[in-house]
Amino acid sequence: MKLPKYKQIASDIQGLVDTQKLGAGDLLPTEKELMSQYDVSRVTIRKALAELESQEVIVRISGKGTYINGSKARRNALELKGFLEDIHAQGKQPSSRVLDFKLTMADASLAQKLSIEINMPVYAITRLRLINDEPEILEHTFMPAMLFPELSIDIMNTSKYEYIEKDKGLKIALSRETVVAEVADQQLADTLNVEVGYPLIKVMSIGELEDGTCFEYSENYFTSKQFSFEIMARR
Amino acid sequence: MKLPKYKQIASDIQGLVDTQKLGAGDLLPTEKELMSQYDVSRVTIRKALAELESQEVIVRISGKGTYINGSKARRNALELKGFLEDIHAQGKQPSSRVLDFKLTMADASLAQKLSIEINMPVYAITRLRLINDEPEILEHTFMPAMLFPELSIDIMNTSKYEYIEKDKGLKIALSRETVVAEVADQQLADTLNVEVGYPLIKVMSIGELEDGTCFEYSENYFTSKQFSFEIMARR
DNA sequence: AAGTGGTCTAGACCACCCC
DNA sequence: GGGTGGTCTAGACCACTTG
């Protein structure tokens, strides 16, 4: 754990917000004060603050000071989170059921999405995710077998993201998602326990590690019942 | 036009990419070379490059160099663009038809979204946007009358964003969007020329200026025929 | 070993806000 | 005028990649 100073400072301040030691609208110490407080240069403080500002944790106003962002803006908007973290944070009961788990070969379309060669082995996993025993999300996930030689159903029954980051020590960087609307056909309706014709959000996403490697492609169906997508589009 | 140096340098390099003088995978000059080329300090160069990196224009690899991003990644993913710009960029024929235009008063729900007082005057505009005379997007837009006292149907028939930025000199900062799926009811189906039950993407968005003022709230319906949403979710 | 980007320092001047 | 954040400089050391 050798984080650079500016990241340590950023997560330190983030911690103060998370633990309610700093609340909406509160004025942060000035950059000069933070300099002596952390005993670093101003550039380092500013880099830490820049990071927090980009995540909308704080607002910097020239000539006045730096404030904790009070707007109800969900900062989670664009964060990529695992299902478990996500739902826990909302205080709901999560669970997950693996419907299918097999090793197969990538066809042309999948190979292109994962940036691998055709016919390379991939795990194909179908999972149903439930909240309070209500089916909510149907996931079709494809992961290159080369990256995860010991992948098992057990792992997919817990948190996929925890496995990748904690057990494998890989760093997830981002996911690229395409969102479209789709109506439930008979099979989707049965699985997700809705009526045929019910509106679903379909998200196709490619997950990338920090070195640019694609670690998964997945097609997920969400009922609009408990989910929506929050996007912040910067001009 | 008094842009800081780092932004000038960033847009200068962006320009080289736009005009194809630099192409996918090309190696940029080293930071040291850029320093003497632009006669600025390394920090300034790095700030310019950091900006381009965040927009995925370039990729910086420690120990190797800085490259033009070659991946097919649409950098437009999260950009907020007006309909006209957007469609022109795709080489299609755009048009727009104002179905309704009236001055009304904000109810509680709308007032909250626009961060104004209840009963403040707002323009309520319904527009149908067409591509090659095909209806594609239905827009319900609400704009505070205080911000745009001279708003007219003519303006809404051209580009709303151009009006705000060019004519009014206001700077649009971002929009916060919530995406859900919805099926077309009779009215939506008639307007958008699809069948009842057709899947639509509904986007509710709040537009903010650089000073944090909300300048519009809108609810837009997209047919999934020609549109999808591209999202890049950073971990 | 040489070169790259990643981090960091200790200064400086400016534009802006508020008293 | 005094304080804030915004920009910029000229150094420095490090980790990493490559010959």
> pLDDT, tens digit, for every residue of A37-81?
999 999 999 999 999 988 888 999 888 999 998 764 444 444 445
Residues in chain A within 8 Å Cβ distance of B201: 179-181
Residue with tokens 């803006």: A73
In A, minimum Cα distance to B70 occurs at A212
- Structurally, at CATH architecture level, domain A5-68 sits in Orthogonal Bundle (1.10)
For residues B7-28, give the mean pLDDT: 89
> What pTM does this model have?
0.83
Residue B164 has pLDDT above 90, yes or no: no
Q: What is the separation of C-alpha B219 from the centre of its chain, rounded to a whole number of angstroms? A: 15
Through-space separation of residue A58 CA and nucleotide D11 C1' in angstroms: 31
Q: What are the structural domain ranges in chain A?
A: 5-68, 73-228
Residue B79 has pLDDT above 50, yes or no: no
Instruction: List bases, strand C, within 7 Å of protein CB.
Output: 3-12, 15-18
* Length of chain B measured in residues: 235
For residues B162-186, give the mean pLDDT: 85
Are residues A197 and B201, on separate chains, in Cβ contact within 8 Å? no
Judge whether A228 is closer than 8 Å to chain B, CB to CB.
yes
Residue A85 pLDDT? 58
Are residues B176 and A231, on separate chains, in Cβ contact within 8 Å? yes
Residue B48 has pLDDT above 90, yes or no: yes
Judge whether B80 is closer than 8 Å to chain A, CB to CB.
yes
CATH 3.40.1410.10 fits B73-228, yes or no: yes
Where does the pLDDT of residue B235 fall: very low under 50, low under 70, confident under 90, or very high at 90 and above? low
Where does the pLDDT of residue A84 fall: very low under 50, low under 70, confident under 90, or very high at 90 and above? low
Through-space separation of residue A216 CA and nucleotide C8 C1' in angstroms: 37
Pairwise CA distance, residues A103 & A151, whole Å = 10
A8-32: string of b/e by CB count within 10 Å (b at 16+)?
Answer: bbbeebbeebeeeebeeeeebeebe
Where does the pLDDT of residue B75 fall: very low under 50, low under 70, confident under 90, or very high at 90 and above? very low
Nearest to B175 among A43, A177, A233 (CB): A233
**To the nearest whole number, what is the mean pLDDT of chain A?**
85
Nearest to B213 by CA among B171, B179, B177, B178: B171
Contact B66, B58 (CB under 8 A): yes
Judge whether B167 is closer than 8 Å to chain A, CB to CB.
no
